[in-house]
Copies of this chain bind each other. A is one copy, B any other.
């Protein structure tokens, strides 16, 4: 006896990651009962984003143009290409203000258990970009999780085979980190990758 428009909204909310039937219902009631303005804004923002957003032809991140502003900038060092998993990772690296090269955003990571292989991740697009003649070094900045490491390993193999110089962010004890509060896996890596002084 529940109106179909309400059923449909609750069902549609379940496309959000981590939202099950109970929380979809709670969200629908909240929006309709307490925040119709927010709901209207969300419906419009979602429709608009779907209309105008696309992937940058060069770096694959979300953009409203064919080539994003960063890739089009003449002030960036086009010989360096840093590969990250997500736009949020790119934002973190930009915040360091210690990198002036370009990026490639995978929009994910290899994850065989979730059905994300080289094809799903469109690695062809990265290989074409990295091999376009302008890139001297590819810096792999995928996460240091199991999946991120496996992705970096696969990319290193593919890119090296094409004659490109490949590097990876260093692992070790975080800046400001105390050994007592650092996990032993990280300390072990910091020992293995110790630098001569």
Contacts and interface: CB of A to CB of B under 8 A. Distances in A.
Interface in A33-58: 33, 35-36, 38-50, 52-53
A152 B49 CA distance: 45
B107 A49 contact: no
A41 B43 CA distance: 10
A116 to B, nearest CB: 10
A91 B53 CA distance: 40
Interface residues of A, number: 55
Contact of A15 (B5, B28, B38): B38
A29 B16 CA distance: 10
B3 A62 contact: yes
Interface in A2-35: 2-6, 8-9, 11-13, 15-18, 23, 25-33, 35
Interface stretch (A64-72, A127-135, A141-149, A155-163): A64-72
Nearest to A8: B45
A32 B87 CA distance: 12
Contacts of A192: none
A108 interface: yes
A92 interface: no
A1 interface: yes
Interface of A: 1-6, 8-9, 11-13, 15-18, 23, 25-33, 35-36, 38-50, 52-53, 62-64, 68-70, 86-88, 91, 94, 107-108
* Leading 6 A-B pairs by shortest Cβ distance: A15-B38, A12-B45, A43-B46, A12-B42, A9-B49, A43-B47
28 contacts: A1-B70, A2-B91, A3-B63, A3-B64, A4-B64, A5-B53, A5-B64, A8-B45, A9-B45, A12-B41, A12-B45, A13-B42, A15-B35, A15-B38, A15-B39, A15-B41, A15-B42, A16-B31, A17-B26, A29-B88, A32-B49, A33-B107, A39-B50, A42-B43, A43-B44, A43-B46, A43-B50, A47-B47
